[in-house]
Amino acid sequence: MSAKQTLIDAKGFARTVTRLAHEIIERNKGAETLGIVGIRTRGDLLARRIAHKISLMENISVPIGSLDITLYRDDLRGKLNQPQLKTTDILYDIHDKNIILVDDVLFTGRTVRSALNALMDIGRPASIQLAVFIDRGHRQLPIKADFIGKNIPTSFTQQVQVMMSEIDGEDAVYLVEEGENI
Amino acid sequence: MGLQSRHLLGLQGMPKEDIQLILDTAVSFKEIINRPIKKVPTLQGKTIVNLFFESSTRTRTSFELAERRLSADVVTFTAATSSVSKGETLKDTARNIEAMKIDMVVIRHNAGGSAHFLSRIIGANVINAGDGQHEHPTQGLLDMYTLREHFGTLEGLHVCIVGDILHSRVARSNIYGLQTMGAKVSVCGPATLMPRDIEKLGVDVYFHLDDVLPSVDALNVLRIQLEREAGGYFPSLREFHRYFGVTKERLDKVGKPIAILHPGPINRDVELSADVADGPHSLILQQVENGVAIRMAVLYLLGTHN
């Protein structure tokens, strides 16, 4: 087995984004009540892609925002490197909206827990639904995604890397053995 | 990532990257304090003690708000209500408070160097909220944040600090910080209120306000401590106002907008005339708002860094 395995290539990436957009519209019977929030950094970029697809399909513009969960993390004290704090940019009122929370990889569930708390501090949405590009298992909290791009069984020490052309120069998903950073 | 020091004692010698990090981090906190729920759980479980041996309203309130908005547990001692008035030394006070298992201390004291002293004898993170005539780093940082927000950059900016330079810790923190960030700093005030050898800090010294106004982008107007008049530093408040008061008439003569900062509290119509303090180029209330964001940033960076 190679150290770096391609799970999704550029074409597959685009198809998965389209399917997620369709599923979200189907489940919510349209996009009128939707608000999309991406978790920085790659969740935010994915949120923009999904929102763009939904806008094209439904002919309305869907409000997008990005969420920085740094201040809500439960491992701030244990980290050796202090994470760079970024800003939360949600310029619309999330009150009574059906919020689609978007992240790239669902792993332990701790990021989503932080994001839920952060969202609740900003307002009271009608519902929050979770959309993730990759679900790799190993949950440590009772959290489940509503929309999943691809389920990938992994071992705990492997890494799933979602690459996006905006910052990584390509759209792809790789499975990397531990210790191999690209 | 992270600051190089585990205390914030002063801006003298603080690396540019650290100042940059604090200013950038404060941008995130400014967004948070404009939310309906102005609170994040980041410092949950941390205990912060505010030791205010000198009276203060703005700085103390600003620190307390910043601490509470980060969900820390907060205790505030003021000189009047503590054992200091019974003659306890700073060292004993600090050791006793530390025995109560605290994580951070914010100290204001009338002796220069008190924050340094504290940082050597206790294990908690120490933040200097003003020590004598030495430094007031969070004020320097919030002034820089406000200027950067207004002008977009500090690089190449010309800032003149006006008034009582001699007794001012705000002046010193501003000089060190602004110079590190690439701004040019001048000082202007009566000769009696100018520290000896101040030009060794790399600042231009002016004794006439009208000489410096044409080249400045911003004035940081210091508060005249009214008791200084009795100390013989200047003949009368009226005379001080005539020579060094920042008035609309004076600014209008320059023919370009000059941003006005003041660390507060203002003596209206002494160092700053009322129409300038409330005028369109006054950044004074922004300074107060930014002060909370800056203090949240400092508390966050020190409190979550091991």
pLDDT at residue A182 in the model: 47
Q: Residue B97 — pLDDT band, cuts 50, 70, 90? A: confident
- Sheet containing B218-221: give its strands across: B204-206, B184-188, B158-162, B218-221, B259-261
- Beta strand A172-176 with A159-163: parallel, antiparallel or unpaired? antiparallel
Quick one: average pLDDT of A97-120? 95
- For B285: left if phi > 0, alpha if psi spans -120 to 50, otherwise beta; the answer is alpha
Catalytic: B136? yes
Distance CA A93, CA A88 (A): 13
Quick one: average pLDDT of B15-32? 95
Q: φ, ψ for residue B305 (rounded to 5)?
A: -100, 130
Which chain A residue lies closest to B302 (C-alpha atoms)? Answer: A82
The Cα of A65 is separated from the nearest Cα of chain B by a number of Å equal to: 13
A33-70 pLDDT, tens digit per residue, is 999 999 998 999 999 999 999 999 999 999 999 999 98
pLDDT at residue B283 in the model: 98
Give yes or no for residue B117 having a pLDDT over 80.
Answer: yes
CB atoms B35 and A89 under 8 Å: no
Whole-number mean pLDDT of chain B? Answer: 94
- Residue A156: both structure tokens together: 């705990």
Other residues' Cβ atoms within 10 Å of the Cβ of residue A15: 12
B165-192 pLDDT, tens digit per residue, is 999 999 999 999 999 999 999 999 999 9
- Residue A173: both structure tokens together: 């998903």
Quick one: average pLDDT of B231-256? 93
Cβ pair B70, B296 in contact under 8 A: yes
> A122 CB near a chain B CB, below 8 Å?
yes
Partners of B34 on chain A (C-beta within 8 Å) are none
Partners of A36 in beta bridges: A64, A100
Enter the pTM of the model.
0.87
